[in-house]
Homo-oligomer: A and B are copies of this chain.
């Protein structure tokens, strides 16, 4: 490949080499490279340094730099499941972008929900002098904070731990539920069913609360017989079909897109058309599904990217956060053609 031996982790040319080549001291090199504010450097010397840098293809050693400065530019992200759910990756994406934007780099660890792996991951991050840790889960829920997390700054992403005092950022389920319902209401529906999940969770209670709030605001009485429970995937939606039809509703708000997908199948099987015979609204905006159903599904997006980004902003102190109550990120409605 080349004469020097690159790739083996360390590159040969150091700041001292540059200094020598430019005929200046390392301090000068350091100053021009970092464009140090209070440093007076002659134009001529500065130019020589820049030339030498280019000449030697010098690349600063970040590790040495942070060592001497005492402050690293790492942010850790520990996730219980990086890819179990398709969109969880967006949390990484958002965190990575925001970290990057602020000159930080992301250290990622996946723990698969394994306690030991989790501790090891946190330990490793601490050893790497991370500025702080983002602890994230792949679906919104309450967690108990790993004790080791207390040893550094941390913010919980897509999860929370009441009483822990840790900052946390989660999706605004209630607003999401409200928006979803409002979308249906706006289309003129008044008898709106809701297929909620069987799993107790912030999503379960939040979306229901939102649904009720929207109905309320529209002056429609909440009708218990219009809310159904189903497992949160295709099968759940499918088996709910008859109940939905029997309910006399003209529209359904589904706990998530997968349920909506199952419902699509069920409805089609019964010969009903969407949205003519039944309007349907999903939740999550799962990209493989929502936009490609027939007809494309109207839904509410889970702001994973924003969750990750807001998490690092809070960690970096760029955005205020409360240890007492989770910061809510809006779930924007996405209108397509199922309404």
Chain A positions within 8 Å of B, measured between CB atoms, are 1, 5-11, 57, 59-64, 66-67, 70-72, 82-83, 86-90, 92-93, 96-97, 100, 105-110, 123-124, 126-132, 150-153, 233-235, 238, 258, 261-262, 265, 268-269, 286-289, 292-294
Contacts and interface: CB of A to CB of B under 8 A. Distances in A.
Contacts of A261: 292
A128 B153 contact: no
Contacts of A288: 86, 258, 286, 288-289
B234 A292 contact: yes
B8 A153 contact: yes
Q: What's the number of copies of this chain in the assembled complex? A: 2
Given A61-B67, A238-B294, 8 more contacts: A1-B150, A7-B132, A8-B152, A10-B72, A11-B129, A63-B66, A97-B110, A265-B268
Contacts of A59: 123, 126-127
Contacts of A129: 9-11, 61-63
Contacts of A234: 292-294
A233 B292 contact: yes
A258 B291 CA distance: 12
A153 B10 CA distance: 10
A9 B132 contact: yes
A145 to B, nearest CB: 13
B151 A72 contact: no
Contacts of A128: 62-63, 105
A161 B96 CA distance: 27
A235 B86 CA distance: 21
Contact of A62 (B9, B90, B110, B127): B127
A292 B130 CA distance: 40
Interface centre among A57, A86, A130 (most CB of B within 10 A): A86
| Most B CB within 10 A of own CB, among A89, A108, A261, A289 | A89
27 contacts: A7-B152, A9-B130, A9-B131, A9-B132, A9-B152, A9-B153, A10-B71, A10-B129, A61-B67, A63-B129, A64-B67, A82-B96, A83-B92, A83-B93, A86-B87, A86-B89, A86-B287, A92-B108, A96-B108, A96-B109, A100-B109, A106-B107, A106-B108, A107-B107, A234-B293, A234-B294, A265-B294
Contact of A105 (B5, B9, B57, B107): B107
A294 to B, nearest CB: 5
Contacts of A124: 62, 105
